[in-house]
Amino acid sequence: MRLLLTVAALQLALVAFMAQSPTEGQPVSFVKEVQPLINVLCVSCHAGGRPAAGLSLETYAGLALGNRKAKGLVPGKPNDSLIYMTLNEIGGVKKMPPRRIAQPTAKEIELIQRWIEQGAKDDTPPKPDK
């Protein structure tokens, strides 16, 4: 009986572990997850010929650029990355998106955090040759 209980407890622990791991461990895709989010949250202002604050956020290169306050993306360090700092108003960087408009959810901010923690990798596929 005791052994059965132990086995049951282990199984429960395993189920709990597996239920958790998709959000914890799975690699975040720039193209499939981060870029669509940035497109919704930021690109209405940060794109085109005269992007807000001179920051065009349409591409990975644009996100990585940054400004005089911080680099856009520091792999492994969200708190040093302008794109994450601005979401959380860290280090004297202005809060983005501006408060008067729709804000990202905690989950969406966490997605960007994890992506940077995982190395802020660019998985944009190469452009096909013409």
Query: Rounded CA gap, 78 and 111, in Å?
Result: 11
Closest separation in Å from C-beta 45 to ligand HEC: 3
CB of 99 to ligand HEC, least distance (A): 10
Positions that interact with ligand HEC (CB under 6 A): 41-42, 44-46, 52-53, 55, 57, 67, 69, 82-83, 86-87, 93-94, 96-98, 101
CB of 43 to ligand HEC, least distance (A): 8
Q: Name the residue nearer to ligand HEC (CB basis): 15 or 53.
A: 53
* Cβ proximity to ligand HEC, 9 vs 36, nearer residue: 36
- Rank residues 103 and 118 by Cβ distance to ligand HEC and give the closer one: 103
Q: How far is the CB of 23 from ligand HEC (least distance, A)?
A: 21
